[in-house]
Amino acid sequence: MGRNLKPRHKATRRFGENVADTIKSPLDKGRNYPSGIHGPKKTFSKTSEYGKQLSEKQKAKAIYGILEKQFRLTFDKARKMPGDLGQNFLTLLENRLDNVIYRAGLAQTRRLARQLVSHGHFTIDGQNNNIPSYSVKPGQVIKVKDNKISKDYWKKFGEKEGEIASAGWLAVDKDKMTITVNSRPNKDELPANIDVPLIVDFYSR
């Protein structure tokens, strides 16, 4: 199983955005420039169109924590679907099981969500599933396994007060520890911080 093990904070500084969704970010300290021993570099050169496309692709990969092969396979799958290619592509990325766990508010980062899935904490419609890239479908119910509820992580999670902030296309039942996938995310619910036309142009060269 391929994993993106590159330093998260370096990616955050390179893209000027907290792509790792970590609570602490180097951007909070004003370090919104690529890491290096010489500090921020002044440059007057303009980025080429190809450079912009490549940077946006790399940023999206860093956000979802996946490697090039899987990212490209997802794009190729979206290309075969009817409708808008860019929207289909983002929808497929959002429908990944690890991302759904993150969007449901059961994990603070996608990396943690991926770890929980890989360690077998969830079932889908009563069936075990430990595949982070699994594409969930509307109507499916994701549940924390009964034998995992006693783990410290879920004990502390259950003690948290207030409502869980989750995406509108998901319904979370904190008492039953379930996520119901009501629908696929619509256009307005897709991430706005990814300029997907640049990625489409990159793979359409």
- The CATH number covering residue 62 comes to 1.10.1050.10
- What mean pLDDT is predicted for residues 131-159? 93
Q: Is residue 110 assigned to a domain?
A: yes
- For residue 13, pLDDT over 60 is answered with no
Sole residue written with tokens 């869980």: 164
Least confident among 14-23, 111-120, 157-166, 196-205: 14-23
Residues 86 and 123 in one domain: no
Residues 86 and 104 in one domain: no
Question: What φ, ψ does residue 194 adopt, rounded to 5°?
Answer: -120, 120
27: pLDDT confidence band, cut at 50, 70 and 90?
very low
Residues 118 and 138 in one domain: yes
Least confident among 16-25, 42-51, 112-121: 16-25
Residues 57 and 110 in one domain: no
CATH number at residue 112: 3.10.290.10
Give the model's pLDDT for residue 120: 96
Query: If you ran DSSP here, which 8-state letter would residue 137 be given?
Result: -
Residues 24 and 44 in one domain: yes
Q: Pick the more confident residue, 43 or 171.
A: 171
Give the model's pLDDT for residue 163: 59
Residues 68 and 43 in one domain: yes
Query: How many structural domains are present in the chain?
Result: 2
Q: Is residue 84 assigned to a domain?
A: yes
Q: Is residue 169 assigned to a domain?
A: yes
Mean pLDDT estimate for the chain: 85
SS3 175: coil
Residues 81 and 140 in one domain: no
Q: Is residue 3 assigned to a domain?
A: no
Residues 112 and 53 in one domain: no
Termini Cα distance of the chain: 29
| pTM, full prediction | 0.80
Task: Supply 109's token pair.
Answer: 């980062």
Q: Is residue 138 assigned to a domain?
A: yes
59: containing domain? 8-93+192-203
Residues 86 and 122 in one domain: no
Residues 196 and 144 in one domain: no
Residues 120 and 75 in one domain: no
Signed CA dihedral, 49, 51, 55, 57: sign only: positive
Distances (CA, A) of 158 to 47, 66, 109, 141: 48, 29, 18, 19
Q: Is residue 1 assigned to a domain?
A: no
pLDDT, tens digit, for every residue of 33-81? Answer: 555 555 566 555 688 999 999 999 999 999 999 999 999 999 999 999 9
Q: Is residue 30 assigned to a domain?
A: yes
Residues 115 and 81 in one domain: no
1: pLDDT confidence band, cut at 50, 70 and 90?
very low
Spatial distance between the Cα atoms of 54 and 84, rounded to a whole number of angstroms? 21
